[in-house]
C-alpha cells in the first residue's frame, strides 16, 4: 500500500476503524443469541469472511496513521486544530479496540461457539494483536493528550467528578473514560486497576448496566495473592453490598441504568 503523507490519512483511518468495528460487533452479538451448534445466525459467516479478507487493509491503514503521526508529531503537538484531528482518530480507534477485545473475550468464554464461528483459524486474535501493536506505537500521543494538553471543549458530563469519588476503589481512568464506558460501552485505551473489593466492582458494573465483559475490558483485577484474575458477577456477587457501603455512597448520585443479567 502506497504511503499517504497528507492529513487525510487520519480521516481514512477513522472511517476504517468505524467500519471494521461494526463488523466485529456483529460477530460478537452472535455469541449472545440462541442457536444450535454448527448453525450460525444469518449473516455471521459473511461478516467473518469479510473480517478475514479485510485484515491486511485495516492493518495497512493503521500503520500509515502511525507513521504519519510519528513523522508529523513535532508540527502537531502545539497546534490545537491538528490535535483535534488526532483526538477524533483516537476516538475511532478506541471503538475498534473495544470491539476487538470484546469479541476476543466472547471467544475465550465460549470456545465451542468460537470454533463454530471461526473454525480453526480465529481471526479475532489477529485483531487483538493489531490494536495492541497500534496502541504501543501511539501510546506516547495518548498520554500526551491526557496529561499535557487542555481537553477540547465538551458539554458538561453527567459523570463529572466520578473519578475522584472512585479513588478508594479504582485508579487509572478519568471522568471521560468512565463516561465512554458507561454511556457508549467503549473501553479505555489503557486499562485502569480495580483496587477495591470485587463485590463492589460487580455492584458498580450492575449499577451502570455494564456486562461483566466490559468491566474486565476496562479494569485489571487481582486476587489476594496479587495474581491477575477476571471478575465474575456470579462468583463475586454484590448481594451483600448495600446503602451503608462506600461503593454505594461513591456512585449514588450518578444515574442508575438497567442492570444486566448475571454472567
At 131, is the pLDDT very low, low, confident or very high (cuts 50, 70, 90)? very high
At 30, is the pLDDT very low, low, confident or very high (cuts 50, 70, 90)? confident
Residue 140: per-residue pLDDT: 92
At 262, is the pLDDT very low, low, confident or very high (cuts 50, 70, 90)? very low
Share of the chain above pLDDT 70, in %: 90
Across the chain, mean pLDDT equals: 88
Residue 111: per-residue pLDDT: 87
pLDDT tens digits, 160-194: 999 999 999 999 999 989 999 999 999 999 999 99
Residue 15: per-residue pLDDT: 95
The grid coordinates of residue 178 equal 468512565
3-state secondary structure of 91: helix
Residue 7: per-residue pLDDT: 66
DSSP state of 193: E
Residue 259: per-residue pLDDT: 61
DSSP state of 224: T
Given a cut of 80, whether residue 151 has pLDDT beyond it is no
At 6, is the pLDDT very low, low, confident or very high (cuts 50, 70, 90)? low
Mean pLDDT of 90-94: 94
Q: What are phi and psi of 228, to 5 degrees?
A: -70, 130
> For the sheet containing 192-194, what is the strand order?
170-171, 192-194, 219-222, 228-229
Q: Which of 1-15, 46-60, 234-248 has the lowest mean pLDDT?
A: 1-15
CB contact at 8 A, 234 and 262:
yes
Given a cut of 80, whether residue 61 has pLDDT beyond it is yes
Residue 122: per-residue pLDDT: 85
At 261, is the pLDDT very low, low, confident or very high (cuts 50, 70, 90)? very low
- Could you tell me the residue ranges of all domains in the chain? 8-147, 162-251
Across 11-155, the runs of DSSP E, i.e. the strands, are none
Reported as half-sphere exposure (CB side, CA atoms, 13 A), residue 201 has a value of: 29
Most confident segment among 75-84, 156-165, 213-222:
213-222
CB contact at 8 A, 13 and 64:
yes
Residue 155: per-residue pLDDT: 63
Given a cut of 80, whether residue 17 has pLDDT beyond it is yes
Mean pLDDT of 191-205: 96
Q: Which of 70-84, 106-120, 220-234 has the lowest mean pLDDT?
A: 106-120
Amino acid at each position: 500500500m502506497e504511503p499517504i503523507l497528507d492529513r487525510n490519512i487520519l480521516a481514512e483511518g477513522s472511517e476504517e476503524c468505524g467500519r471494521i468495528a461494526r463488523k466485529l460487533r456483529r460477530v460478537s452479538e452472535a455469541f449472545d443469541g440462541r442457536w444450535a451448534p454448527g448453525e450460525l445466525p444469518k449473516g455471521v459467516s459473511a461478516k467473518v469472511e469479510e473480517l478475514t479478507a479485510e485484515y491486511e487493509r485495516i492493518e495497512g491503514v493503521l500503520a500509515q496513521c502511525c507513521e504519519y503521526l510519528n513523522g508529523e508529531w513535532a508540527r502537531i503537538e502545539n497546534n490545537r486544530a491538528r490535535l483535534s484531528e488526532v483526538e477524533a482518530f483516537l476516538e475511532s480507534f478506541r471503538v475498534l479496540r473495544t470491539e476487538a477485545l470484546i469479541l476476543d473475550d466472547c471467544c475465550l468464554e465460549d470456545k465451542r461457539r468460537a470454533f463454530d464461528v471461526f473454525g480453526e483459524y480465529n481471526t479475532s486474535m489477529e485483531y487483538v494483536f493489531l490494536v495492541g501493536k497500534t496502541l504501543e506505537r501511539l501510546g506516547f500521543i495518548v498520554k500526551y493528550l491526557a496529561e499535557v494538553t487542555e481537553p477540547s471543549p465538551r458539554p458538561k458530563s453527567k459523570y463529572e467528578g466520578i473519578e475522584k469519588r472512585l479513588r478508594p476503589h479504582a485508579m487509572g481512568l478519568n471522568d471521560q473514560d468512565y463516561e465512554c464506558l458507561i454511556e457508549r460501552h467503549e473501553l479505555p485505551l489503557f486499562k485502569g486497576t480495580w483496587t477495591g473489593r470485587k463485590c463492589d466492582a460487580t455492584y458498580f458494573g450492575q449499577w451502570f448496566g455494564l456486562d461483566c465483559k466490559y468491566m474486565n475490558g476496562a479494569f485489571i483485577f487481582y486476587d489476594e495473592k496479587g495474581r491477575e484474575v477476571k471478575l465474575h458477577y456470579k462468583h463475586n456477587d454484590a448481594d451483600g453490598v448495600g446503602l451503608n457501603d462506600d461503593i454505594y455512597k461513591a456512585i449514588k448520585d450518578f444515574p442508575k441504568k438497567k442492570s444486566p443479567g448475571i454472567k
